[in-house]
């Protein structure tokens, strides 16, 4: 969309180029040689070092602490704020997922991790009434990406055609829906408004507010792709769920029944996948699914029951009400809370919340059982999380061994130069 806009040249102060030379895509306003004042938010920028050497191409926002975000570090790629460039990059990210084996629902674009800061897209493979289709849930998080993607509907229509021509997907535009999920707080930091979810394009005859998405192992999960949390689902946990399920494929349950406690279950993907694996082994599964959202719990009940488990739905606050659940009763406990730490100032209270939740989790697991502890707070360092889990284990006088250590799935690629991209952590403990 910025076709006619020539990039503005910005220079860095002497010595401020180390991070960006290392491949980190951000520059802060105090690292610039001159004030960016007057620059149109989101307009293209070519970033140079103090001596005038090329560093990166991207876009700038004078109203954001992160003044510049790089889309490319290659000097020959300077027209990076045009829709044609974005289209090429998104074909590439889809192809990359395809090569890794992601064919159903997957994160198609993960912002900085895909050299496309400010853009997150989840692609859902959907089923309804014997019909199939694909839904793109799109989050535009920066002024720069908002300037590039000014006409998202026609942009995605062209892209669907190209992706089909390249045999990356069979679906036509008629079988595609696009939902804009700009209901995200971080937009404020860029001077953008928080908008209500918007369906830009729907699929005739499909109800996106209650629809089956196909995830790993061809499992179907009903969720709300318009108003649901995040983009409607938490695709990032697929890898961690697989790690836990791998264990459950061989683990012994002499009583023939497995009791699962799914804390902060949302629509129940952990329990649904666990039930899928255990039912295939002929084991009975009983799930207690806990969340504070009735909307999420109604989907969780449906999803878990569909796999054949007996479900006990509990609307409880995991930081206040877990005393009502029995101690030393569950064979598998999952603790996957919301991000308790959203800003640096939340670290002490957030750490305390993680400790409280994990202490409860280790109190409720039986001997021989497993506890999966998760954190999606990027600002909660892994070392801190390890310390919290260690304390939770010793408080319950448990003997426990860490048997799995996870993170987000491969459809959430991370640049090693961009540590901020690593946010999801998971540890599985075997309690004796």
By CB under 6 A, name the one of 106, 108, 234, 253 that touches ligand SAM: 234
In the region spanning residues 273 to 312, those forming contacts with ligand SAM, defined by CB under 6 A, are 290-293, 296
The full 3-state SS of 109-152, as one line of letters, equals EEHHHHCCCCEEEEEEEEEECCEEEEEEEEEECCHHHHHHCCCH
In the region spanning residues 55 to 74, those forming contacts with ligand SAM, defined by CB under 6 A, are none
* Nearer to ligand SAM among residue 234 and residue 380 (C-beta): 234
The interface region with ligand SAM, picked from 70-78, 152-160, 266-274, 301-309 by CB under 6 A, is 266-274
Query: CA triplet 104, 100, 212: central angle to 5 degrees?
Result: 10
By CB under 6 A, name the one of 59, 270, 299, 427 that touches ligand SAM: 270
* Nearer to ligand SAM among residue 318 and residue 379 (C-beta): 318
Determine, following the binding rule CB under 6 A, whether residue 269 of this chain makes contact with ligand SAM. Answer: yes
Phi, psi dihedrals of residue 136, rounded to the nearest 5°:
-100, 120
CB of 124 to ligand SAM, least distance (A): 14
Determine, following the binding rule CB under 6 A, whether residue 411 of this chain makes contact with ligand SAM. Answer: no
The pairing of beta strand 131-140 with beta strand 119-128 = antiparallel
Q: HSE-up of 359 (CA within 13 Å, CB side)?
A: 15
CB of 380 to ligand SAM, least distance (A): 13
Counting residues that bind ligand SAM (by CB under 6 A) gives 20
* Nearer to ligand SAM among residue 111 and residue 232 (C-beta): 232
In the region spanning residues 180 to 219, those forming contacts with ligand SAM, defined by CB under 6 A, are none
By CB under 6 A, name the one of 180, 265, 278, 333 that touches ligand SAM: 265
* Nearer to ligand SAM among residue 80 and residue 357 (C-beta): 357
By CB under 6 A, name the one of 170, 317, 382, 399 that touches ligand SAM: 317
Closest CA to 126 of 62, 22, 215: 215
Helix ranges restricted to H, 109-255:
143-148, 152-165, 238-248
**CA 122 to CA 234: how far, in whole Å?**
10
In the region spanning residues 323 to 342, those forming contacts with ligand SAM, defined by CB under 6 A, are 336-338
**CA 138 to CA 159: how far, in whole Å?**
14
- Per-position x/- string for 103-122, each x denoting binding to ligand SAM as judged by CB under 6 A, each - no binding: --------------------
- Per-position x/- string for 344-383, each x denoting binding to ligand SAM as judged by CB under 6 A, each - no binding: --------------------------------x-------
CB of 268 to ligand SAM, least distance (A): 7
**CA 113 to CA 245: how far, in whole Å?**
27
* Nearer to ligand SAM among residue 23 and residue 378 (C-beta): 378
Do residues 61 and 143 lie in contact, with contact meaning Cβ atoms separated by under 8 Å?
yes
By CB under 6 A, name the one of 94, 124, 156, 266 that touches ligand SAM: 266
Euclidean distance between the first and final Cα of the chain, in Å?
60
* Nearer to ligand SAM among residue 85 and residue 270 (C-beta): 270
By CB under 6 A, name the one of 43, 116, 215, 318 that touches ligand SAM: 318
Query: CA triplet 345, 349, 355: central angle to 5 degrees?
Result: 140
The interface region with ligand SAM, picked from 110-118, 120-128, 195-203, 265-273 by CB under 6 A, is 265-273
Closest CA to 124 of 156, 150, 102, 154: 102
Secondary structure (3-state) at 279: helix
* Nearer to ligand SAM among residue 66 and residue 292 (C-beta): 292
Residues 6+ apart with CB under 8 A from 387: none
Burial 211-241 (b: 16+ CB within 10 A, else e): bbbbbbeebbbbbbbbebebbbbbbbbbbbb
CB of 272 to ligand SAM, least distance (A): 9
Interface residues toward ligand SAM, by CB under 6 A: 229, 234, 237, 264-266, 269-270, 290-293, 296, 317-319, 336-338, 376
């Amino acid at each position: 969309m910025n076709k006619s806009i020539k990039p503005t040249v910005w220079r860095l102060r002497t010595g401020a180029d180390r991070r960006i030379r290392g491949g980190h895509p951000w520059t802060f306003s105090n690292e610039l040689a001159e004030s960016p004042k007057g620059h149109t938010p989101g307009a293209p920028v070519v970033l140079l070092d103090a001596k005038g050497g090329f560093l990166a191409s991207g876009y700038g926002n004078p109203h954001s602490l992160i003044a510049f975000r790089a889309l490319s570090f290659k000097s020959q790629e300077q027209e990076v704020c045009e829709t044609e460039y974005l289209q090429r990059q998104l074909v590439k990210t889809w192809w990359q997922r395809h090569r890794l084996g992601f064919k159903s629902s997957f994160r198609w674009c993960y912002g900085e991790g895909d050299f496309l800061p400010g853009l997150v897209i989840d692609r859902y493979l959907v089923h309804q009434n014997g019909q199939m289709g694909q839904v793109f849930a799109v989050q535009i998080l920066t002024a720069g990406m908002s300037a590039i993607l000014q006409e998202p509907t026609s942009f995605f229509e062209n892209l669907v055609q190209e992706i089909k021509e390249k045999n990356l997907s069979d679906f036509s535009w008629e079988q595609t829906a696009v939902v804009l999920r700009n209901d995200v707080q971080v937009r404020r930091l860029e001077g953008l408004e928080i908008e209500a979810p918007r369906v830009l394009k729907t699929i005739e005859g499909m109800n996106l507010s209650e629809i089956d998405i196909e995830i790993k192992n061809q499992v179907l999960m009903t969720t709300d792709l318009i108003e649901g949390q995040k983009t409607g689902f938490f695709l990032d946990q697929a890898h961690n769920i697989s790690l836990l399920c791998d264990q459950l494929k061989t683990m012994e349950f002499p009583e023939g029944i497995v009791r699962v406690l799914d804390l902060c279950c949302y629509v129940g993907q952990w329990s649904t996948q666990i039930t899928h694996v255990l039912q295939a082994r002929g084991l009975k599964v009983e799930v207690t699914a806990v969340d504070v959202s009735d909307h999420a719990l109604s989907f969780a009940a449906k999803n878990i029951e569909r796999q054949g488990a007996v479900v006990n739905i509990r609307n409880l606050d995991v930081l206040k009400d877990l005393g009502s659940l029995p101690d030393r009763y569950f064979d598998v406990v999952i603790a996957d809370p919301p991000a308790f730490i959203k800003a640096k100032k939340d670290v002490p209270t957030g750490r305390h919340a993680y400790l409280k939740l994990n202490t409860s989790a280790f109190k409720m697991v039986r001997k021989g059982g497993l506890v999966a502890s998760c954190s999606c707070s990027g600002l909660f360092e892994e070392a801190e999380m390890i310390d919290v889990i260690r304390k939770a284990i010793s408080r319950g006088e448990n003997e426990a061994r860490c048997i799995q250590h996870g993170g987000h799935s491969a459809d959430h690629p991370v640049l090693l130069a961009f540590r901020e991209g690593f946010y999801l952590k998971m540890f599985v403990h075997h309690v004796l």
